[in-house]
Structure formats: C-alpha cells, structure tokens
C-alpha cells in the first residue's frame, strides 16, 4: 500500500459503539461525494463493543456534501471522527534532557526525510541540547527554571509556556526526564508521546535497566506511549525488545536498550503522524501499513 504522503490522499478516522450498517453508510457517503476509497482498515473490540476505522480517500471529493452527510451519520451512529487533509506536513516539538540520543535520532530522521514533519523547536531543561538544535537549524529553548532547575514550579511554567509558544501538533518527550504536572498532561492529551526505557508495564519509573539486571531478565525493551497524569501508564503505541543474557552487565543493557529506544520512539511518532493510532479505554488500536 502506498504511503499517506502520496498526492491527494486524505485520512478519515472514526470510532463509535459497534452496530450494523456503519461500513456501508460511510462507503456510500464517500461514493456520493465523489470520493474513492484508496485503502481502509477497521477493528471491533469485542470486550467494549467499540468500532474503529481508518480510511484513505482520494478523488474529486465534494467536501461540502461530504461534511453535510457525515453530520447525519454522526447523529445516527454517534461517531467520534477526524479528517486529515492531504499533503499537509505536521509540526512537532522535541523535548529532552541531558541524554540526547533519542532527540538526535529524531532530528536526523526528519532531516533525511524519514519522518514527514517539521520540527518547530527543541526544548530542554539542560543546556547540552543547544548545540544539537543548532546543527539541525532548529530553535532551542532552555527551560531550567533558574538555578539549575531548583524552582520546580518555575521550570514547569517555562516548559508549558514554550510548548504553547511553539504550538506544535505533537510534543515528543525524547528522554525528557521530568515528571509533568497534570495541567500539562491534560493540555496535551493525545498529542504528547514519551519513550520509556523498559517494556511496560514492567519496571516503570526510574532506573529500569538496573532493576531489569537485578531481576535477571532475558529480554529488555522500550515503550512509546501517550502521556497521561499517571507516570508511565498512558496508552501504548509501540514497543521493541532486545535479548540479553546473564553475561550482560547494566551498561550492556543500557547500550542495547538505547538502540531499541531510538527505533521504538521513531516508529511511534511516524504512526501518529500517519493517523494510524486510535485510543479508547487507555488502549490503542494501531493500524498497520
């Protein structure tokens, strides 16, 4: 299947209580409006009776007719829906702390065209990221709160202000090592992705590689998830793993884990940008390619 950035391709995502006639009604509306279904995927969660669908559209669509007809279907089926315009680049902000490997990987992927988005800025509570942002021609904002972050309230306010100033569509926490207050997580609900260096729900919180080593695990992993007020407990988008053995020390786990973190975070960002992730009940439906 061609990728979403092919010319003229719009994306419709929707979810609602499962019931008869949904697919037929949506398909008929698209045809009536002059559109063509380029690709479609759907899922029904049996436990919660939720229907989720992602449709790729092209053609000479009468958008006024489509929106009018969609409003009728919303009343009939109780849709929650989003329409994403074709050929539109999305904007992100990358937030990081002192460890820059995930942020550097994301910026490189954007520069190389592997992630189809614009980076509006790099935000960090540590000055080390300034040179990285400069190399990629991206604005940098230091949000340390003064006196090396001793004033937590000031630091959180500076972080929130920077995000609001940039106003991105997505915030990516690329090893941003601060616990965010609820007012920030609620403000960016569904639009903020974090990478955690363990295979959640195992080893949430701090020092997961040390705890994994102490537990003698044979697999380590990384988890990219949407951020919620509860630490490391948001809806999971992507996960990756690497094998380890009794011969590996903590530093070996860290080295192997960093490669997994880079790829897992990049995968999650791409899935979000391509509108392949739908969330319900703190779970995700991730439509593949």
Q: Of 242, 244, 224, which is closest to residue 234 (Cα–Cα)?
A: 224
Instruction: Tell me the three state secondary structure of residue 239.
Output: strand
If you search the block for the tokens 């019931």, which residue do you land on?
19
Give the C-alpha separation, 287 to 281, whole Å.
Answer: 17
Sequence length of the chain is 289
Q: Of 10, 6, 1, 116, which is closest to residue 55 (Cα–Cα)?
A: 10
What letter does residue 50 receive in the DSSP assignment? E
Q: Are 69 and 32 in contact (CB under 8 A)?
A: yes
Give the C-alpha separation, 121 to 163, whole Å.
Answer: 9
Give the C-alpha separation, 175 to 153, whole Å.
Answer: 20
Catalytic-residue membership of 144: no
In the set 4, 105, 125, 232, the catalytic residue is 232
Residues with catalytic roles: 232
């Amino acid at each position: 299947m061609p990728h979403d950035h092919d010319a003229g391709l719009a994306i419709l995502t929707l979810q609602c209580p499962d019931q008869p006639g949904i697919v037929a009604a949506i398909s008929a509306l698209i045809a009536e409006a002059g559109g063509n279904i380029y690709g479609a995927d759907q899922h029904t969660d049996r436990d919660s009776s939720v229907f989720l669908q992602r449709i790729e559209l092209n053609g000479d669509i009468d958008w006024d007719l489509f929106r009018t007809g969609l409003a009728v279907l919303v009343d009939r089926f109780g849709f929650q829906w989003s329409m994403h315009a074709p050929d539109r680049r999305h904007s992100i902000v990358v937030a990081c702390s002192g460890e820059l490997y995930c942020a550097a990987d994301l910026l490189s992927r954007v520069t190389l065209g592997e992630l189809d988005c614009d980076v509006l800025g790099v935000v960090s509570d540590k000055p080390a990221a300034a040179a990285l942002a400069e190399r990629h021609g991206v604005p940098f904002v230091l949000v340390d709160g003064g006196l090396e972050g001793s004033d937590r309230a000031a630091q959180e306010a500076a972080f929130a202000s920077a995000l609001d100033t940039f106003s991105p569509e997505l915030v990516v926490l690329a090893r941003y090592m601060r616990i965010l207050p609820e007012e920030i997580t609620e403000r960016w609900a569904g639009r903020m992705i974090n990478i955690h260096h363990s295979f959640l729900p195992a080893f949430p919180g701090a020092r997961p590689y040390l705890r994994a080593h102490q537990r003698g695990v044979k697999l380590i992993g990384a988890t990219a998830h949407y951020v919620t007020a509860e630490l490391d407990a948001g809806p999971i988008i992507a996960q990756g793993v690497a094998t380890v053995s009794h011969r590996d020390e903590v530093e070996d786990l860290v080295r192997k884990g960093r490669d997994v973190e880079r790829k897992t975070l990049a995968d999650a960002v791409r899935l979000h940008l391509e509108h392949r992730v739908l969330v319900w009940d703190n779970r995700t439906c991730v439509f593949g390619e």
